[in-house]
Structure 1
Amino acid sequence: MLDLIIHIFMLTRNIAIAIILLSVTFGCHFKGGSNSEHAYIGGEIINPKNKSVVLFNTKGEIVDSITLDKNNRFLYKVDNLKSGLHSITHGGEYQMLLLEPNDSMMIRLNTYDFDESLVFTGKGAKKNNYLIKTYLSNEEEAKKLVKYSKMEPEDFFDFVENRRENQLKEFHEFLLDNDETEFFKSIVEANINYNTYADKEIYPFAYFGSNKMIHIKDLPENFFNHRKNIDYNANYLSHFFAYNRFLFSNIDNLAICKYYEANPYHSKFNRHAMEYNKTKLDLIDSIITDTTIKNNLLKYKAREYISNNHTEDEADELLHYYLAKTTNKKDKTYMKELVSSLKLLRQGNMLPNIELVGYNDTHHNIDSIIKKPSIIYFWASNSKAQYRNSHHVVEKLKSKYPNMDFISINVNDNDDKFWKKIIDNYNFSTENEFKFKNSKAARKKLAVNYLNKSIIVDEKGIILHPNTNIFSPEFESTLDNLLQKKHLVAKQDAF
């Protein structure tokens, strides 16, 4: 299941960072009383994309939008601080950080090279540097999961367990020279452990594939022993990538057992079966009591099904099943609007008209630029790997389908110069490079919930496929079948 691995991996946030300890003077001196329940966070943004930094608390709620001064610096006191994983965003970039009382942490970054330039200094920097080190390690290992998944089950189990034990050993050696809080220790250990647990849960899909998922029952008896140690209601980890990565795959696997209770063992596993997806919602509802974790999982699992080209009746059926379980009013509104948008994006409908801005600052309605059968694909300025890879894949597709157009749309709402800077830096062709004039409205209208989504239309703007993935191994065969069926354009043989 290469698609599944790519999908999960692409869910990873943009927090891979090269860390160097610097001494940076910002003209402010941080002080914190020993009994205080506050922390300071400040820093400098080089080449800012806008004039503010947004701080989020441990619940993912906005604490404040902090305005940059004339030197593009900021300083903020967080009162009534609750120890935990906070995050900041700037111009579409996202960074998670651990804040505890008395921390006084400085951040310095250059938006033109976010990953490689971001630096933490000050009190609280060392623990964040170490936490990011584990993020980096996990991200590198995730890239190799496709290769690792070819191992036999026993070998894979030993490999990931040895890796986990080595990471824990290294961390405990770090603690010998650094006096850190128990909360910090629990965060790092959770990051190491849940990342390994997630790899084990993903492995069956990668190793067996959809056709042979029944063999999940034949895995070694101790393969899923980690499930005895799971806290499904760890609220302090509710926005933690490794934890959610585990939960997503674990729920899928638990639902497979239920799937084969109702289907013959020799039958092909159908990931899009209605009952299988309802079972996932049932499991989430029964296993998890924490409302934040439960509502998030319910939303993403329901959206996963609804977004995958099901009939209107099927989408409505799962929507109502989901609405009966979630307690989040905003999520309910969001999902209802998503289903309404998807109904307008059915095959055979005209593509909804949206306004675009071209590289040369020209304004267009999208229907005015569609002259040939076209593939519309999307990218974001803060997802470097995705926009490089998508443009690379499209260049290959252009040589195979010379009679098609490929329309690239940036989804960000930052100043145009940042979008253009990427296009210039990577020498992307400026032809058919656009951005949304109103990103929020356009993303909702086109149901762009995943950057890897692409839309295929004919020369009149009629939708041939509302939600496909140019990275999928099946993409070209899907495209060929659509074009042949419509008698549009033929694929050109590769040289």
Structure 2
Amino acid sequence: MKNIFPLFLFTVFLLSACNRSNSYGDKIYIGGQIVNPHTHYVVLAQNEKVLDTLFLNQKNQFGAQLEDLTEGVYSLNHNPESQTMYVEPGDSVLVWLNTLQFDKSMNFSGRGSEKSSFLLEMLLNNQENNELILSYYKFNPEKFSRITDSIREQRIESLGNLNDEQKFSQKFLDIAHTVIDYEYYDLRERYTFLIEKYNSQFADEIPEDFYNYRNEIDFSNESLQEYKVYTNFIENYLRSKSIENCNTDEDLDRSCFELGSYQNIRRRIILVDSLTTLPYMKNKFLDRLVTRGIVMAKNQDRVDSILEVLENINYSNIGQAEDLAIIQKSYFEGSSIRKGKMINTSKEQVTYGDIISKPSVIFIWSLYAPSHYKWQHNNIKALRRKYPEVDFIGVNIDQGETENWLRVVSSNNYNKDYEYQITNREISKEVFRKYIHKIFFVNSEAVIIDGDAKLYSPNFETELLEFLNR
């Protein structure tokens, strides 16, 4: 069992929690400890509805006896991350995690914890499949089918052995088998996307019954709508369906396969709108696609086209999309950002025109994405050494949280000469956070030359060199 040693650090707390719950067979106890917490509380929710807020004590421990909870899947949220639990009356589930490795460090213990542990293990398997599929798609469909059929059988056997020990409820067994199915479906969708895009000679070898499982898909499974294995499958299904005709339509070029293209994003927006009846699920996927479609738009026509699609499907968050469109209008290639206002680490107001005097790379970050901003800054640190002719400027978008921003900058020893925070902006922080993956190449006149670069792209340095050589 992984990461079990840290649980001994608060054994007394856990044992007392279990003992308190012994006399409440119809209630549920949830408690635990968080190492390196982001906030001073955790939130228990189900299907977007907040059920309770559990506050951390001085030892970063939390716990509560909860009434009126029915058996099922719940989410335990510790902003900005969350994880799924499965509980039923009589359970006393204890959680330990370190936010530096949120999913991988998480450990469930206590009465009834095996159900949550199974769902977590399936999620980690699903994440590991990200690497495996890069080998699997090089196999022909027959070999790929044999391998994935074997994986599914192993999962079912493992669940059966666990059930022999734990005697799970039929409701949990039904959900567990459904989760195994969706992991299997997800592998097939990922394989489909990769061979269509990179290994199309195998596409013609796919047997007619390869996609029979699509007849069994429930795109409106309310119990699983917050569970990442299920939502990962739907995301990969949308991707594979969006390129389904790319190799058969002679009028389409290679851009048909580009997930960031307007045409592809439009296809997925229309598809997800037609697939699910669950408002939470639909908006979660639409929000993601709309953000990408607008944030990556290169001109006003593209932005207007996305907004038109949203109006046609009666998108519920159209106001936020319009706010995002307002921001994007300022960041098209060729736009000047000279007058954009910020504060420096001395809390003095400055503009981009004040601080930009040579080719610059501007990266956006938020306090509420700690793993992301640490990764960003580590990469930027290496790039600064390699490209001294470029200024790498970090812009924090958490307007109004100046003290927290300065604390993070200082505690991580970030170069204060290149760290700024936006100010005097009327657009909400939630909208600005859509930009944390954006990189802007800006010339010495504070004009955007490229607003479509991605730090995580393997071609990033090639794009940077092209920018410098213009």
Q: Which category of TM-score, normalised to the shorter sequence, fits these structures?
A: 0.7 to 0.9
CA contact 2:84–2:226 (8 Å) conserved in 1:
no
Does the 8 Å contact 1:213/1:269 carry over to 2? no
Deviations along 1:257-284, one digit per CA (max 9) or x if unpaired, are 45667x4177435235655443333333
User: What are the Cα deviations for residues 406-447 of structure 1, in whole angstroms up to 9, with x where unaligned?
Assistant: 2345667694597358736xxx767635667899967556x4
- Count of aligned pairs: 456
Kept in 2, the 8 Å contact 1:252–1:280? The answer is: yes
- 1:382-421 equivalences in 2 (<5 Å): 386=372, 389-408=375-394, 415=404, 419=408
2:412 aligned partner: 423
- C-alpha separation in 1, matches of 2:426 and 2:46: 25
Separation in 2, partners of 1:188, 1:418: 43
8 Å Cα contact 1:378-1:453 kept in structure 2: yes
Instruction: State whether structure 2 residue 33 is matched by structure 1 residue 44.
Output: yes
Partner of 1:478: 463
Question: Is the 8 Å Cα contact of residues 152 and 181 (structure 2) preserved in structure 1?
Answer: yes
Partner of 1:241 in structure 2? 228
Q: In structure 2, what residue type is equivalent to 1:319?
A: L
Amino acid of the residue matched to residue 194 of structure 1? Y
Counterpart of 1:462, as a letter, is V
Partner of 2:76: 88
Distance of aligned partners of 1:209 and 1:167 in 2 relative to their CA distance in 1, 3 Å threshold: same
Among 324, 329, 338, the residue aligned to 1:338: 324
Match of 1:171 among 139, 154, 159: 159
The range that moved more, 112-121 or 201-210, is: 112-121
State the superposition RMSD in angstroms. Answer: 3.7
CA distance in 1, matches of 2:60, 2:268: 46
Change (3 A) 1:148 1:461: farther
Secondary structure at the aligned position of 1:102 is classed as coil
Which residue of 91, 95, 98 corresponds with 1:103?
91
Q: What residue identity is the alignment partner of 1:316?
A: D
- Match of 2:239, as an amino acid? D
Please list every run of 5 or more consecutive structure 1 residues that lacks an aligned counterpart in the other structure: 1-16, 486-495
- Pair 1:161-2:152 in alignment: no
Query: What are the residue-to-residue correspondences of 1:211-230 with 2, within 5 Å?
Result: 216=203, 218-230=205-217
In structure 2, what is the Cα distance between the partners aligned to 1:86 and 1:229? 24
**Matched-pair contact (CA < 8 Å) for 2:193–2:239:** no
Equivalent residue of 2:363, what SS?
strand
Contact 1:454 1:468 in 2 (8 A): yes
Aligned pairs for 1:141-290 (under 5 A) are: 141-209=129-197, 216=203, 218-257=205-244, 263-264=249-250, 267-270=253-256, 271=258, 274-290=262-278
Return 230-239 or 475-484, whichever deviates more.
475-484
Larger helix percent: 2
Identical residues among aligned pairs (%): 24
Q: Which amino acid aligns with 2:449?
A: L
Taking structure 1 as reference, are residues 110 and 202 closer, same or farther at Cα in structure 2, changes over 3 Å only?
closer
Name structure 2 gaps, 5 residues minimum.
none
CA distance in 2, matches of 1:156, 1:252: 19
Asked whether the 8 Å contact 1:345–1:463 carries over to 2, the reply is yes
AA at the equivalent of 1:154:
E
1:54 match: 43
TM-score (norm 1): 0.78
